[in-house]
Structure 1
Amino acid sequence: MAGGLLMPTAIPSAEPCLTPRQTARFLWLCIRVRYLFRRMERASLRVSRVGFDRAGGRLLYFADRWLACHAEAAELLQCAEPLEVAEVRKLFEHRP
């Protein structure tokens, strides 16, 4: 070895170590969040065209699923949710 330096075998990090099963679950959640976000965008366009009374249910359904995926991902990573997720969650809390 040049200079007698050894490479560390473990890199210290603040993130929790995920098992392979948890890693697979997290990756699936990332894909699901992206899919649901696209569906929310399309539902939002529909709401703007036909009105919330006729098309609002789909938007609320996708937003609810999107929030659930973010909550599960935050639990896996043991961290707080992103700010935009917290803002959407506040809207759901104040909904009648």
Structure 2
Amino acid sequence: RMKLVVFLALSAIFLASIDCKKVKKAKVTKEEQHSHPGEVVDSPFLASHFVRPKQLQQHSKYDKCKQECARIKEQEDMQLYLVQLREELAAAEAMIAEEEALTQ
């Protein structure tokens, strides 16, 4: 009896997944068939599906400014991190010097 319940549950899941795949395929075919009236498509590739490599993309002034600000912020964060590391190093060296002075 338990095997029958498990079998029915698995078959229901299997059938649901098949129906789901059919729905996805139907949506894809509808999107592919969509075109504007009077538009002639000579290429097998649609313009909306073409993705340029990052090196060839032209960036707007906003994108350039955003990248420059991110670069400046990263440099400032790195400088603050270096200052923090130097302070920790100085504190560690001072502790080592104190321990050496106490052991002598």
TM-score calculated relative to the size of structure 1: 0.35
Question: Bigger relative contact order, structure 1 or 2, given CA contacts below 8 A and separation 6+?
Answer: 1
